[in-house]
Chain A
């Protein structure tokens, strides 16, 4: 019972970080900032890091952002990422020719929008699906400007998620940023194992949800993936956030790829 109380306390703490359960609208006009950039520009992590700031960051959990980023928070796409981490991750994805995309846990939708739009500057996606147990108001608007986008109001722990995966059959990349709890995260990874070529986890370094790092370490130790980490921290912060990208060895096409690459 102690672990349940601890888990609920952690959840209550996370809720306090939020302005409320329900996501805010985002400024989809900023999608143009991505569409007007060339692939050559978007291939560079430094350029992407500056672009993420232009796109706008979330302002929930502001204490996890360094002061120099605060002027960029609470506007635009409300991306809940460290720009330095997200830029390195997106630049890596740009080299992989991602064919389809799913994101579990999208909150306001900013990371989903930015990821989809950056990926599509390199290769048109077959589909992109945002999945969340909480409805995301921005997704209807995004689907109007990107017809390959779909929102699935689905609990990943329910049978309907399995049905969604069965319908899709195969997904090239899934980004997991849902409930930040170890057991749920592990179940999601298990559910995705047979259908996803690449799985990315958010918050692999976050001291607020150590269970995600545990699952990430299990994935690294499994030997089934080439793993890439984007977990650099801002001075005096955290560790917070952190992105792990696990690419199935057969998807990478290079069985001798380094097991773990940091960034």
Chain B
């Protein structure tokens, strides 16, 4: 079973276009300064996290400091509720 930490690393590797990055990243890697994700890449990252983990991120609870470590972010994401099924278009 893929852990949240592994999922984060795989998504980051995909965003960077370097599959080997998933194996190279430390659990403590900093998403802001270490990986230099810009704001648009961070949006893509969040979208993929929600899809991959089937969760809905509560941004009221997301502290910027959580992005300073993959492990810290994973701990936060593990507390997020499952994403509700999509509502039918009206």
Residues in chain A within 8 A of chain B (CB atoms): 1, 4-5, 7-12, 15-16, 18, 20-22, 24-29, 133-134, 137-138, 140-141, 155, 157, 179, 181, 184
Contact = CB atoms under 8 A, between A and B. Distances in A.
A133 B42 CA distance: 12
A27 B32 CA distance: 39
A7 B64 CA distance: 12
Interface string B44-76: 101100100000111110101001000000000
A20 B47 contact: no
A21 B50 contact: yes
B90 A179 contact: no
4 A-B pairs with least C-beta separation: A141-B89, A15-B59, A11-B39, A7-B39
A56 to B, nearest CB: 12
Nearest to A16: B59
A179 B50 CA distance: 19
Contacts of A29: 90
Contact of B38 (A4, A21, A27, A141): A4
B33 interface: yes
Nearest to B36: A4
Interface centre among B43, B57, B58, B89 (most CB of A within 10 A): B89
25 contacts: A4-B32, A8-B38, A8-B39, A8-B64, A8-B67, A12-B59, A12-B62, A15-B46, A15-B59, A15-B62, A16-B60, A16-B62, A18-B59, A20-B56, A20-B57, A20-B59, A21-B50, A25-B90, A133-B40, A133-B47, A137-B87, A138-B89, A138-B90, A141-B90, A179-B40
B40 A181 contact: yes
B interface secondary structure, majority: loop
Contacts of A11: 39, 42-43
Contact of A133 (B44, B50, B87): B44
Contacts of A12: 59, 62, 64
Nearest to A109: B89
Contacts of B62: 12, 15-16
Contacts of B57: 20-21
Contacts of B90: 25-29, 138, 141
Contact of B32 (A5, A18, A133, A157): A5
Given A4-B32, A5-B32, A184 B67 contact: no
A10 B49 CA distance: 20
A9 B64 CA distance: 7
Contacts of A155: 40, 44
B88 to A, nearest CB: 7
B47 A8 contact: no
